[in-house]
Every structure is written in structure tokens, then in C-alpha cells.
Structure 1
Amino acid sequence: MPQRPLLSELSVSLVVSDWSGGGAVRALLLAQVLQTLGCGVQLVGFRFGEALYTEPPAGMEVLAFPGASYPAILGTARRVLSHLTGDVLYAVKPKPTSFGLGLLRRLQVRRPLLLDMDDWELSWHGGDDWRYRPGPQQLARDLLKPGGALRSPDHPFYLRWLERAVPWADGLTVDTTFLQRRFGGVYLPNGKDTSLFDPARQDAAASRRRLGLSDVWVLMFPGAPRPHKGLEDLLLALEELNHPAARLVIVGGNPYDDYDEQLRSRWGRWIISLPKTPLAEMPAVLAAADVVVVPQRDTAIARAQFPLKLTDGMAMGKPVLATRVGDIPNILGDTGYLADPDSPAQLAAQLRHILAHPDEATHKGQRARDRCVARYSLDPMAIALRAVLERVTG
């Protein structure tokens, strides 16, 4: 059967809620998949921090307008709307600053609107147990007082409303079975550009020397530490293991709060921190890892996520040590090492096993890359997204 033509005449406007947040990585990944399909891509949204969360790949332009609270953000929102000129609108996260704007723009121009969900946003606020029942005075303060809670575009009141509006999208993509069961949609995993993330293009020994890690057994966490990500359990495992060369190497750190400092104040002897690294340079950093660690705790936040660190490690052919949370066991298959969540003792036991069986660990890493190329590279993602685009564009 002849191949169907690429969607080369289609332009897509990706609407991003915050280029300073972790969702920016997912947006850039979606842009890469769209480019694989031959689509033209716009990347437009707000920036609520001082800088972009990560630098986009070369040749990919990001329009990031300064974010603000209500009502100041409304003027900027009009500017964002005017830049959404694509044939298809694609909102990243069900937030007012992405999906909300997408709904408004669809009313203006009558173009299809897709929504991508890579998180259950309400899980950060207690999930289904969250309630907002203010009295009249509290409601007035939240709305009218400078710094009032309802002036924040990310207040859970707005998130809940927009989650209820998910069926209004013309198409939905999600990256976990948790989100698919809850909201429906097409599964689109948090994959990787495996031509960029390719161990054959890197010199691991040179990377270690450049980063000052030549004498370290590197357990790498390439992401932002948060309590649900289980680094406290991993650090307790390191204390139990008590291997003189073992270190948790954190790349980038946490831009949201002082959680990094809390970890360092208790376990500083086991931690090495590396600076935030542009996406294009991450393969060279990951090449220095002996093991990539993803020790998620069993929370609603974690169950709803597809950790990008999994495909970081898999694509680079590294042994991955993770926990049995959400989709992680299915993503890794038999190509990684698993422990129960919230179990430092099991993490320590797996680390001992990896140390004692280096050839097995190397082989698992090689098979993990093969699995990543087959299931989580840009091409299989493009197949899934092509079907969604063809359906909504006719």
C-alpha cells in the first residue's frame, strides 16, 4: 500500500501555558514530532519565570510573552491570541493560559483544537478531594485583593473547570494510561529524539572528565527534584549501600522552591549538582551516567506522569533503576531494574546487584535503547499523532 503523503501543507500553533515550567519540554517534543510529519510549527505562550525552562533546539523559535496575574495578563493574552495563526491549534496542558486561550481562538477562527495532557494538574492540589468553598468575604479577598488567590491563572478553581471542558477539544493526546482512563484520548508517550540521544555519538569517558566525574559511580537524575520523585528514598539507599564512589548527580535542579537545599542539608555528602543544560547538550551529560535513577513515590502526581528521565536513560543505553509506579514497569519492560516505591532497602539491594553484575547492566541498557527506538522514538509518536491530525482536519 503506498504511503499517505506528509501533512506538509498544515501549520500547527502550539499554545504553551508556561515556557518557564517543565511542560516546556513536552511542548518541544510535540513540535519535533510535528516537524517529523512535515507540519509547520508555531510555539507560542507565556513565560512566568525569568528564563525558559530549557533552550529549544536550533532552528525552533519560541514566542514567550511575559506572564502575570489577573487582570494584567488579559492584555498580554490578546497578543498571544493574535499570534495563533495555525490551521490547527494544539494546547499543551488544560490551563487557562493554554487550553483556555485555545478555546477562545477556536471561537474566533473556527479551527480544530487539540489538547495534550502530560499531567493530572489537579493532583498537585489534592485531586478529587480539593474543594473551594469560600464565604463572601473570602471570595472578595481572593478576587479583588492584590495577590488574591483567584488572581493566579493556575488556581485549582480554573484547573477544575478546564478539566471539565476537556471534551470540548476536537482531539486529545495523553502520555499515560492513568490519564487515558480518566479523560480518554490517544496515547502519545513522552518519547525521545533517538538520533540526538544516541550513545554512539558520545564519548562517555570524555564526558566524565569534562564534568569532573571520572572517579564517581554516577547515579544520574536528569530533572527537577520534587518530593514525589523519590530522591529521599534513593539517598537513604545510598546511605545503606555506603559505597565510597557512589553519588547522586542531579542535573538542572529545582526551579520552583528550596527542595534542593533541603536534600543537600541532610545528604550533601552523597549529592553532586550539575547546572541546567540545554536540550541539545543533554546527551553528552547523560553519557557520563552509570545508572539513570527514577525512584518515583506512589502518589497521584507520579501515577499520572511519564517521567522523561526514563526515555533519557533508555535512549542513551543506560541501565535504569526505577520504581513500580504507574506505567513505569510497562515502559521499561524487562530492560531495567525495579523496586517497590517508598522502599530504600529495595533500591539499595538493586544497586548492589548492579554493582555486582556490570555486564548484565550493560546488556540491559543496550536492550533498553532498542526498546526506546522501537516504541518511544519520534517515528512511532508521529504515527499516532498523524492519525489524530488527519481525523480533525478531514
Structure 2
Amino acid sequence: MPDGEAAVSPRTEAGGASIPPHRVSLLIGQLGLGGTEKQVALLAEGLRARGVGTDVLVMFEGGPHEGPLRAARVPVVHLGFRRGLADRRMPPANAAAFLRLVGHLRRTRPDVLHAFLFHSQVTAAPAARLAGVPVLVAGRRSLGDYKRGRPLVSALDAVATRMTDHLIANARAVAEDALRDRYVEEDRLTVVPNGLPASAFEPMPPAVLTTRLPVVLCVANLISYKGHRHLLEAMARLGRRGLPCTLALAGDGPERAALRARATRLGVDVRFLGARTDVGRLLARADVVALPSLQEGMSNAVMEAMAAGRPIVATEVGGTGELLRGRGVLVPPADPAALAEGIERLVTDPASAAELGRRARAWSAAHLSADVMVERHVRIYRDLLERRRPDAVRPPGTAGARG
């Protein structure tokens, strides 16, 4: 199998009589700065550019991607849900929001409803059936760790998945994890890697960051599974070895206070930059990019660093190995010693670091184009619509058999 191809893939090329999608609705929880939100925006803009009527339905709150979507003439519809869909005592406002979603789908009559992440999928499944949407697709963006020890979440996920025509995973590791669930069949699952816009490959002026030390950049929300505490330990180790570096953390979240206190205890030079939209300029300033995550799907932060040609050290979790094997330094998760060694290797051997950066940039340009990502989605939508035709012959177990 060629490098970068999907490991799990049903038929996605329909015959000459295939039905193109006229309208697609994308359902997501919010439009913040996360990787999934970025991919939804890229997909929506790409579909719109191809003449597919597209809207983005937001369950909870908007965010920075809303303005660019509207500028691209992609409507953004706020549904007014409240958090707590997986709680036994659901907020009453969600009943009205659910009816609002069903009413919108009935009025706009999309060919495809594509839901992203858990809350959207469990909401989309009954809504699509009530509204008569022909095809329901769900995006799998991460491993199933969020379901562990949460029986209600697991049960909702199982029911919603059985009601869904097709699943699209963004990494082979995510697809393989999904297949371990008894209710996910291989012929209802396709791998489509994330995409990068052309702007990710354009040179950027470096951001201003005053330091004489090598700069290690980490772009990730400050939440526990991103593994920042292990990166801080690694930076402290480097300092004790006589190789102090400045750590720049781009992102925000609930771990900020604890990480700041830990950095002070360890004596590490850390710059908490907060949520940033100028990641390209930060990458241009970085000597090394590090991602110490304990779990990942397909990391947008790693992809963007690859497009910028930066040397990267990252934990081999989820789809990160698929991106960086032979093009970066991979280390085990929760291992500060290995993380420190990886950073040291890149900082002390600039020629090797530059070569890894060149390989990463070339591979990402060939395999991670947003245009390719959008086109693969269009093919899947067309194939599923073709299978929904009354006269289509559907082998047992194929997608499109939803009643």
C-alpha cells in the first residue's frame, strides 16, 4: 500500500451514474481553535468552492472560524444547545434545540448530514432519521479513550454509530481503534487524512520572542492529555545538562495555572502565549516543535509544523507516527527522558534537524493538501448517495441500508 493511503477503505468511486451531493450540512459542537474545527472549516469552504450548497450547524457556541466561513459564503447556524448531552439530567433547552435542528434539516433538505465528534454524532443520528436526510456520516477524529468508564457515553455512541451510514476516520490508528468496537464494520469505514490549506506552506516572518536560547514550540490546548507536564520535565532535564531552552506554549486551557506553578518549581523558561491565530509566525521562530501528547487522532499541530519545514519531536500516539515516521523524531508518551533526548538531538545537530524538516515539508505537500481531503469527501458522499438509489444493488452489510 503506498505511503499515505487509507488502510481501511470501502468503494469510494461510483460509476458514471453517480449522484453528486447538491447540499451538505456539517454539524459540530463549536468553532474554536481546535484541530477538528479547523478541518470542518476547510471542508465547508472546499465544498462551497465546488458548487455544493453547504452550511455549518453549531450546537453550542461559535468561535474564530465563524468569520472566515461567512466570508466564504458558508452560512453558520447556531442551534442553541447547552452542554450536558451525555448527562442523565439533560438541560431542558436541548429539547427545543433538537427540534430546531430537525426543522432546519427538513427545510433545507441536505443530501448529507456529516457530524463531527461525540456530541454531534449522537444528536445527528435521531435528527437525520426524523428529518429524512438520505445519508448520515460521522467523523471519527480521536481514539475511543473518552468512553472508558463511562457506560452511558459508550451506549449512546453504539446506538448512534449503528444509525450512521458511514464513518470517516482521519488516521489509520483511529480507524483501527474504531474497528475494535463490535458495532463498527470495516465496509462502513474510510480513512481520509486531514488537509492543509495552501497558506500553510507559504513562508512567514518569524514572531517576536525575546530570548537568546533555542526555542522549543508546543502548539496545543493546555489540557492534561496533551502531556505538557512531561514536556516541562524534559526541559528541566535539558537545563541540568547545560542545554537550557526557551519553551513557548501556544494555547490555553484549564491546566495553565498548574503548568505555570510547575515551571516555576522546575526553573524552566516558559512563555505562556495563550490562544494564537499566528501559528505560522510562531513556527518560523521555533528551532524545534514538540508535541508531548498522551493521545491524539491526526494532529493538526504536527501537520502545520511539517508544512512549515520545522524539525519535530512528538510522542508516537494515534496517527502521529503515520505523519512523522522517517520525517521526525518519535518518542514514547509520558517519557520525559526520551523527550529530552529527542529535543537535544535536534538542537545540537542542526543539519540533521534541517533534513528532517525538508522531508516533512515535502511529504506533507504531496499527501496533506486540503483539496485532496475535500475531493475524497465528495467521492464518499457521491458513493453513499448512489447506494441510496432505490434500484441500487446493495451487498449485505454495505452502507446506505439505514431505514
Calculate the TM-score normalised by the size of structure 1. Answer: 0.78
Selected match of 2:324 from 306, 329, 332 = 332
- Supply the distance in 2 between the matched residues of 1:215 and 1:38 (Cα, whole angstroms): 50
Selected match of 1:234 from 231, 255, 271 = 231
Unaligned residue ranges in structure 2 (runs of 5+): 1-15, 83-89, 387-403
The number of residues matched between the two structures is: 344
Deviates most, 263-272 or 31-40 = 31-40
Selected match of 1:42 from 55, 67, 70 = 55
Cα distance 1:31–1:214, how it changes in 2: closer, same or farther (>3 A)?
A: farther
- Supply the distance in 2 between the matched residues of 1:360 and 1:350 (Cα, whole angstroms): 12
Q: Is the counterpart of residue 111 in structure 1 residue 134 in structure 2? A: yes
Q: Is the counterpart of residue 93 in structure 1 residue 117 in structure 2? A: yes
Aligned to 1:138: none
Amino acid at match of 1:63: V
Cα distance 1:382–1:267, how it changes in 2: closer, same or farther (>3 A)?
A: same
CA distances 1:312-346 after superposition (whole Å, capped 9, x unpaired): 21111111111222332221121111222222111
Amino acid at match of 1:107: L
Q: CA deviation at 1:244?
A: 6.7
Q: Is the counterpart of residue 31 in structure 1 residue 44 in structure 2? A: yes
Q: Is the counterpart of residue 267 in structure 1 residue 263 in structure 2? A: yes
Q: CA deviation at 1:308?
A: 1.6
Which has the bigger relative contact order, CA under 8 A and spacing at least 6? 2
| Identity %, equivalent residues | 23
Q: Is the counterpart of residue 376 in structure 1 residue 368 in structure 2? A: yes
Aligned to 1:81: 102
Aligned to 2:248: 249
* Residues 7 and 38, structure 1, Cα contact 8 Å, conserved in 2: no
Selected match of 1:345 from 308, 320, 337 = 337
- Supply the distance in 2 between the matched residues of 1:234 and 1:385 (Cα, whole angstroms): 36
Q: CA deviation at 1:8?
A: 7.6
Amino acid at match of 2:212: D
CA distances 1:46-69 after superposition (whole Å, capped 9, x unpaired): 125xx5265553424432333325
- Supply the distance in 1 between the matched residues of 2:221 and 2:196 (Cα, whole angstroms): 18
- Supply the distance in 2 between the matched residues of 1:32 and 1:105 (Cα, whole angstroms): 23
Q: CA deviation at 1:264?
A: 0.6
> For 1:1-394, what aligned pairs fall within 5 Å after superposition?
10-20=22-32, 22=34, 23-35=36-48, 37-47=50-60, 52=63, 54-55=65-66, 57=68, 58-59=71-72, 60-68=74-82, 69-84=90-105, 85=108, 86-95=110-119, 97-120=120-143, 123-125=145-147, 127=148, 129-131=149-151, 157-158=152-153, 160-181=155-176, 182=179, 183=184, 184=186, 185-193=189-197, 195-200=198-203, 202-204=204-206, 207=207, 209=208, 212-213=209-210, 215-242=212-239, 246-254=245-253, 257=254, 259-268=255-264, 269-278=268-277, 281-297=278-294, 302=295, 305-394=297-386
CA distances 1:58-83 after superposition (whole Å, capped 9, x unpaired): 42443233332522211122223333
Cα distance 1:346–1:75, how it changes in 2: closer, same or farther (>3 A)?
A: same
RMSD: 2.8
Q: CA deviation at 1:378?
A: 1.2
DSSP 3-state at the match of 2:79? strand
Cα distance 1:80–1:367, how it changes in 2: closer, same or farther (>3 A)?
A: same
- Supply the distance in 1 between the matched residues of 2:252 and 2:372 (Cα, whole angstroms): 31
DSSP 3-state at the match of 1:285? helix
Aligned to 1:147: none
Q: CA deviation at 1:284?
A: 2.8
Amino acid at match of 2:146: W
- Supply the distance in 2 between the matched residues of 1:221 and 1:14 (Cα, whole angstroms): 29
DSSP 3-state at the match of 1:350? helix
DSSP 3-state at the match of 2:285? coil
Q: CA deviation at 1:5?
A: 12
DSSP 3-state at the match of 1:310? helix
Amino acid at match of 2:171: T
- Supply the distance in 2 between the matched residues of 1:7 and 1:231 (Cα, whole angstroms): 47
Unaligned residue ranges in structure 1 (runs of 5+): 132-156
Aligned to 1:144: none
